[in-house]
A and B are shown apart, each in its own frame.
Chain A
Amino acid sequence: DARVTQTPRHKVTEMGQEVTMRCQPILGHNTVFWYRQTMMQGLELLAYFRNRAPLDDSGMPKDRFSAEMPDATLATLKIQPSEPRDSAVYFCASGPLSYEQYFGPGTRLTVT
């Protein structure tokens, strides 16, 4: 049963520190998405890739967030420097080109 995996599952860090979250999409999926979920804002799309190329990162604060896909098996989301308002659950999702998306377990980030 193929699944999207994310690491770490939990991260507690201090304000100003760099945070890197990793995602392994399901093998063969062409699209990868990063979402952020908070109580106040719900689910927000941060960035997405198709065939490893970034298609849209308009949902991401550009000054501190960056998303990359160094290869087909790894997507990363980096925050530098982190701030308390970045505390949220970050989900990665991948999908084939049939528009379905399969979500990973998420990374729960707490910035103190």
Chain B
Amino acid sequence: AQSVSQHNHHVILSEAASLELGCNYSYGGTVNLFWYVQYPGQHLQLLLKYFSGDPLVKGIKGFEAEFIKSKFSFNLRKPSVQWSDTAEYFCAVIKLSNDYKLSFGAGTTVTVRA
């Protein structure tokens, strides 16, 4: 069974600081990768996705992620965070077959201090 690991449970940083959230998965086959964001009291929203092609993908709100196949990683980055980026961030993986199930990581809570 595949699993998704997010390295940090809670990250606290100041506005304008850079953010990097780690995500590793254990499945050895071809995967589709996602980052979702959940703002306080809201539902999950798709930040970005990787299916194939350029391993550096850009998403909404200035976020980007890099797929490194050899490291089974899909880390999320933002060069300069804002207070409004305070949220929980989930990495998710789908095995690329006839299986549509998303496996989610445990989530990383990001708190940005003004």
Q: Do A and B come from one complex?
A: yes
Which residues on A are within 8 Å of B, measured CB to CB? 31, 33, 42-43, 45, 48, 50, 55-56, 91, 93, 95, 97-106
A50 near B100: Cβ-Cβ < 8 Å = yes
Query: What is the interface of chain B, defined by CB distance below 8 A to chain A?
Result: 32, 34, 36, 42-46, 49, 51, 90, 94, 96, 100-102, 104, 106-107
What are 5 pairs between A and B in contact, CB < 8 Å?
Answer: A42-B104, A48-B100, A91-B43, A103-B43, A104-B43
Contacts of A102 in B (CB 8 A): 46
7 shortest interchain CB distances as A-B pairs: A103-B44, A103-B43, A43-B104, A105-B43, A99-B32, A99-B94, A31-B100
Q: Separation in Å of the A33 CB from the closest CB of chain B?
A: 8
Give the residues in chain B near A33, CB-CB below 8 Å: 100-102
Given contacts A48-B100, A101-B46, A103-B44, 7 further A-B contacts (CB under 8 A): A42-B106, A45-B102, A97-B100, A99-B96, A99-B100, A100-B46, A105-B43
**Contact residues in B for A93 (Cβ distance below 8 Å):** 44
Q: What is the chain B residue whose CB lies nearest that of A42? A: B106
The secondary structure that dominates the A interface is: strand
Contact flag A43-B43 (CB < 8 Å), given A48-B100, A101-B102 = no
Q: Are A48 and B44 in contact (CB under 8 A)?
A: no
Q: Which residues of B contact A99 (CB under 8 A)?
A: 32, 51, 94, 96, 100
Contact of B100 among A91, A95, A105 (CB under 8 A): A95
Query: Chain B residues near A97 (CB, 8 Å)?
Result: 100
Q: Give, as a whole number of angstroms, the nearest-CB distance from A35 to chain B.
A: 8
Assembly CA distance A110 to B34 (angstroms): 30
Chain A residues with CB under 8 Å of B45's CB are: 103
